[in-house]
Structure 1
């Protein structure tokens, strides 16, 4: 492992930077990067139980920020496709099976669908699709925050109780 990566990981593991590390991991894990933030939250709470609520709230804020970034990525992708379609009127981007049904479902529920942004596998792309559909940004962010807070309270509480 390169020394830069090892030293960065060692720095993030310090208890003095535990909450910033949780924020960073939670933010990155809510984008389309394949990683989870629960182990970081749980590790911090195990090391410092008095940080349960600060860790849950910081993780929620970071994960919500990551969801908002995904929303903007979806909105940007939509603008790019529209621009491409204007430049190439005969061509259409490929659409996957069930594409229309999923978009119709999300459009029907609107920003409330972002409550499900906490789900593994589908939660992060859901935020991007909300941006693609240009669902209202702030209501989407509010619903994302509620869903993500419920996940962190439940997951971290359950892990602390079990271990």
Structure 2
């Protein structure tokens, strides 16, 4: 049991929730199957790392939005308005899908559209923790 392995899991989970091409499931599953760490600790470390990764992506959304009037900005005002209408209707609950492969885009949109910080954090934490709990249960089912 080493702290370095837990740091590796944390960084893999954090990277997986940003625009970087990381996969934390392989690291998580390997560590769980290795049996050196209690599952609750793996879920905690991975969930915190993955949630923090989404927070970074959310902050990137806040940061990039200030450039919306620039010529190079990737979205038109009409696209932003359409996204705001959609997000105002479904957006908050879509944060529960931030665990999915397209979840980075949802976290980025939440930042651009200024989702209230407490709401963002609660919903994303639920989604990310739920993801690792289900992964832990699925992995336990493979061996049990």
TM normalised by structure 1 equals 0.76
Larger Rg computed on CA atoms: 1
Counterpart for residue 41 of structure 1: 28
Aligned positions of 1:5-20 closer than 5 A: 15-16=1-2, 17-20=4-7
Compared CA separation, residues 94 and 74, structure 1 to 2 (3 A) = closer
Give the number of equivalent residue pairs.
140
Among 105, 130, 143, the alignment partner of 1:125 is 105
Equivalent pair of 2:10/2:50 in contact (CA under 8 Å) = yes
Pairing 1:57–2:37 present: no
Give the secondary-structure state (helix, strand or coil) at the position aligned to 1:108: helix
1:113 alignment partner in structure 2: 94
Q: Which residue of 2 aligns with 1:4?
A: none
Which of 15-24 and 139-148 deviates more? 15-24
5+ residue gaps, structure 1, are: 1-14, 85-90
1:23 to 10, 16, 38: 10
> Structure 2: which 5+ runs fail to align?
none
**Matches of residues 75-114 of structure 1 in structure 2 within 5 Å?**
75-82=62-69, 84=70, 93=73, 95=75, 99=79, 101-114=82-95
Tell me whether 1:142 sits opposite 2:122 in the alignment.
yes
**Deviation for aligned residue 1:49:** 5.6
Q: Taking structure 2 as the reference length, what is the TM-score of the superposition?
A: 0.85
